[in-house]
Amino acid sequence: MSRTAAAAAEPSAYVSRRPEWLRLLLRPFSGDAAFPWLAPLIVMLLLFTIYPLIYNIWLSFHEYAPFRRQLEFVGLDNWRTLWQDTRFWGSLGVTFTYFFFVLTVQLVLGMAIALLLDSDEPGFGLLRALLTLTLVIPPAITGMMFLLMQDSEFGVITYILESVGLLDGTQPILSTGSTALIGVMLADIWQWTPFMVLIFLAGLRSLPPEPFEAAMLDGASPFQIFRRITLPLMSKVIAVAVLIRGIDVFRMFDYVFVMTSGGPGTSTYVLSLYAWQQTFSFVKWGYGATISLVSLAIILIVANLFIKLAKVRW
């Protein structure tokens, strides 16, 4: 600290030791102008998000013509196809089913586990640390883990479900239309419920003790305390967790790609996967771009609306 103060007190002595080119480079950073500081960020975002976005919109008005081997202008054809494509509407449905189910389970389970782990007793710190481990596993590898555990012949989850009579051994979880999406959700719920737990725990542990003490003196039941005190005090924390998790659940791609590739049939086709496959597997470059634009638009509108309504601030 004393060294920094000394350096701050004698700026000229310090600056003069720099070579000329560096001094020129740093000159824009001496005053109060914000632009030089932001310029690298702006350039990167323009090049890698805004330009691709414009390119994507341009692409949605074109389509690859396999016989002439080139992109051709097709006007609004891709958007018209989209409107009539039952597979697109189906994948939109799958995406929303996945979104609401996974987010709800993670929210409820996350809060329940957080309340359970909210304790100062020895050992609970270790439990919290163990829970963070799932967050850093590549989702693609999580997908593989659950692929192995849900294998119809030697999977451990299959085995447990069969021994308690929930499965009869004739319907593999991930290749049966009615259960495949649940199998994928299981991977997501396993990996990201701890995300909710950790955020809620941090929130719970920073709550002031006074309202709880007062409520206990008044003889409030644990449920009343949770409903009337904990939840309102935690509303900001919950909003942030739901926002960030919601964004990631909506754009989920990795699990379905490695676990089911959208199948069986179209039962696990989420929007991201459908867009990707149209472009790269079925060589419908423009159509894939169109679908990805829809998912982009939905997420930008919904998430920004949520930020406004829930008053989340950065």
Nearer to other proteins, 120 or 218 (CB): 120
Establish if 195 lies at the interface with other proteins (CB under 8 A). yes
Per the DSSP assignment, residues forming a β-bridge with 70 are 65
257 touches 140 (CB < 8 A): yes
Nearer to other proteins, 19 or 123 (CB): 123
Nearer to other proteins, 268 or 279 (CB): 279
Integer-rounded Cα Rg, in Å, for the chain is: 26
Establish if 199 lies at the interface with other proteins (CB under 8 A). yes
174 touches 180 (CB < 8 A): yes
The binder of other proteins chosen from 13, 24, 51, 283 (CB under 8 A): 51
**Minimum gap (Å) between residue 34 Cβ and other proteins:** 4
Return d(Cα 93, Cα 109) in angstroms, integer.
Answer: 24
The binder of other proteins chosen from 24, 45, 65, 76 (CB under 8 A): 45
Establish if 258 lies at the interface with other proteins (CB under 8 A). yes
| Segment interacting with other proteins (CB under 8 A) among 1-9, 82-90, 173-181, 213-221 | 1-9
> How far is residue 99 CA from its own chain's centroid?
10
Establish if 212 lies at the interface with other proteins (CB under 8 A). no
> How far is residue 62 CA from its own chain's centroid?
30
**Minimum gap (Å) between residue 227 Cβ and other proteins:** 21
Q: Is 265 helix (H, G, I), strand (E, B) or coil?
A: coil
Establish if 161 lies at the interface with other proteins (CB under 8 A). no
**Minimum gap (Å) between residue 120 Cβ and other proteins:** 11
Establish if 56 lies at the interface with other proteins (CB under 8 A). yes
| Segment interacting with other proteins (CB under 8 A) among 81-89, 98-106, 225-233, 248-256 | 248-256
Contact set for other proteins, span 115-134 (CB under 8 A): 116-117, 119, 121, 123-124, 127, 129-134
Cα distances (angstroms) measured from residue 67 to each of 58, 62, 72, 156, 202: 21, 15, 11, 49, 59
The number of beta carbons lying within 10 Å of the beta carbon of residue 207 is: 15
The number of beta carbons lying within 10 Å of the beta carbon of residue 268 is: 26
The binder of other proteins chosen from 16, 17, 66, 138 (CB under 8 A): 138
Structure-derived torsion over alpha carbons of residues 166, 170, 174, 179, reported in degrees to the nearest 10: -50
Judged on CB neighbours under 10 Å (0-12, 13-18, 19+), 260 is buried
Return d(Cα 276, Cα 291) in angstroms, integer.
Answer: 9
The binder of other proteins chosen from 250, 256, 260, 269 (CB under 8 A): 250
171 touches 208 (CB < 8 A): no
| Segment interacting with other proteins (CB under 8 A) among 73-81, 83-91, 173-181, 305-313 | 305-313
Establish if 98 lies at the interface with other proteins (CB under 8 A). no
The binder of other proteins chosen from 103, 146, 267, 269 (CB under 8 A): 146
Establish if 247 lies at the interface with other proteins (CB under 8 A). yes
The binder of other proteins chosen from 20, 153, 210, 218 (CB under 8 A): 153
Judged on CB neighbours under 10 Å (0-12, 13-18, 19+), 247 is middle
Establish if 282 lies at the interface with other proteins (CB under 8 A). no
For residue 178, what are its two tokens? 């009615």
